[in-house]
Structure 1
């Protein structure tokens, strides 16, 4: 009779190994499908959202100009956009205004206006950065860029 200490732990069977292999293969296939779906669409084009109006302008920029724009906007955002805690406090103000008894629509409007003001300020910064970029282009570069905007718009029409 063998001692319990001398017994070897059971080795996983062939079926378990096959099932694990199939599981890994299915997971990889799923990740591949997700990545393919994401990469198939133009990430600049997006769908909806407040920045949707700007996508043809951004899509028509060459990679370097687009990266420079995003870099400048990130820096601007860091300098002017409230920190996470402040943004959270603004949402809390809206929630409190909605729960107030008696309800005060003007207080809710004021809380929403504070939030909207931040978005508007960021959009104005983005427009100013874009305008500066376009103003620095030569006539030929600006004409090529305008052609690129038209092409971006025609690509979008074809998708619909």
Structure 2
């Protein structure tokens, strides 16, 4: 009997596994991009918590808290438009994840390749953060002196408040009533 691979064509199961791997890779790539976009947009779109400002060590949340609801919504929408318009091509994302997977499976381990792949992902996250910062600065520039003063007051409130104590919502309900 002859070997089915002797004519140089791969067997059908190998092709199927390859397609499955590509689909899995695309899914992981999409999930990672959505996670990053969700974190950035979530910080801008999130409504202020009912029991006071966010922790001051979470800068994006503090600035988001200081914006009005309408400003937060508009900045978030514009940010998502820009991110969608300038996102990397699907093939580039797929290739980046393939490099990461190859680096992880390499024997001997190639830390430089993994570091490069992770750095590229970090650069994409930084690009998105820069979009948010630019849009925030544009909005602040458009504010009247009174709006800027109110924004500064809310920002200061968020920065000066100690981190929330963990506890039930019921325990924190009294704090929400004290907030102007």
TM-score, with length taken from structure 1 = 0.61
Query: 2:79, 2:115 → 1: CA distance?
Result: 28
1:78 aligned to which of 65, 80, 84 = 84
Task: Return the structure number with greater relative CO, CA threshold 8 A, min gap 6.
Answer: 2
TM-aligned CA deviation for residue 93 of structure 1: 2.2
The residue number in structure 1 matching 2:168 is none
C-alpha distance in 2 between matches for 1:143 and 1:101: 58
8 Å CA contact 2:140, 2:148 repeated in 1? yes
**Residues 27-106 of structure 1 aligned to structure 2 (within 5 Å):** 42=49, 52-82=58-88, 86-106=92-112
Number of residue pairs aligned between Structure 1 and Structure 2: 115
Structure (1 or 2) with the larger CA radius of gyration: 1
Structure 2 portions without partners, runs of 5+: 1-47, 166-180
Whole-angstrom distance in 2 between the partners of 1:65 and 1:58: 9
* Greater helix content: 1
- Does structure 1 retain, via aligned residues, the 8 Å contact 2:54–2:62? no
Q: TM-score, normalised by structure 2?
A: 0.55
